[in-house]
Chain A
């Protein structure tokens, strides 16, 4: 009797986890397409750096203040599309720059980000390792990177800029493992919040990879 109940509960838990995973990846692929369209609009309309900054601030405002209140309702889907669309539009100036100097860097960074994401997600899904121990490391790393990026706005050291991009690659890779493991182990049960976090990791990884490839190809 006890064993039957345990097995039933485990099966329900596995089904719930699979549902969150399926919904997350479906919504993530839809938001990526929407974000790519918005990025194209950003490039085509010649979005300025000021416009991109405003779009990024609005997106983070949605993530911090609106998404947590709407994530459990249908409105959350609209908010996550607005969030990803704004971030996509915010990519306009950086994409315009790299498309003008060397378009192959953009396609390489895009393909590279896709391969890394699939590889890391596949690793977390197949090994089913619990990466919850990385929470503190990732948060400290993120704050160190933000601090260094803040300093570099005023100092403008190219080597520090490259080190920041490398740091972003490590932290975002860790975040993808952490978030995927969190979905598998039931820590994240809301697919809208999971999509927003994974999207942010992917976007940051893409821009960091773009910067690294640009620097090493001599086009940055």
Chain B
């Protein structure tokens, strides 16, 4: 295993350690979304998904 892989792994591990307390804080303090709120997120994500499928078809 070369040093770039080890360095990348350590870098990702450092990011996980750094972000973990923020995740706990976000879970504790984030407001809960209603079904309507989540639909407002799902619709644009579905649009992104369809657009990516279109891009895949374009490069194939």
Contacts and interface: CB of A to CB of B under 8 A. Distances in A.
A112 B55 CA distance: 7
- Contact residues of B: prevailing secondary structure: helix
A100 to B, nearest CB: 16
Interface string B46-57: 011001100110
A142 B51 contact: no
Contacts of A129: 37, 40
B48 A143 contact: no
Interface string A71-110: 0000000000000000000000000000000101100110
Interface in B1-46: 3-5, 7-9, 11-13, 15-16, 18-20, 22-23, 26-27, 29-33, 37, 40-41, 44-45
A133 B33 contact: yes
Interface string A132-155: 111111111011001101100110
Range class of the A interface residue count: 35 or more
Interface of A: 49-50, 53, 56-57, 60, 64, 102, 104-105, 108-109, 112, 115-116, 119-120, 123, 127, 129-140, 142-143, 146-147, 149-150, 153-154, 169-170, 173-174, 177, 209, 212-213, 216-218
29 contacts: A53-B11, A60-B15, A64-B18, A104-B59, A112-B55, A123-B44, A129-B37, A129-B40, A132-B31, A134-B41, A136-B30, A139-B23, A143-B20, A143-B23, A146-B16, A147-B16, A149-B12, A150-B12, A150-B13, A169-B48, A169-B52, A170-B45, A173-B44, A173-B48, A174-B41, A177-B44, A212-B52, A216-B56, A216-B59
Interface of B: 3-5, 7-9, 11-13, 15-16, 18-20, 22-23, 26-27, 29-33, 37, 40-41, 44-45, 47-48, 51-52, 55-56, 58-60
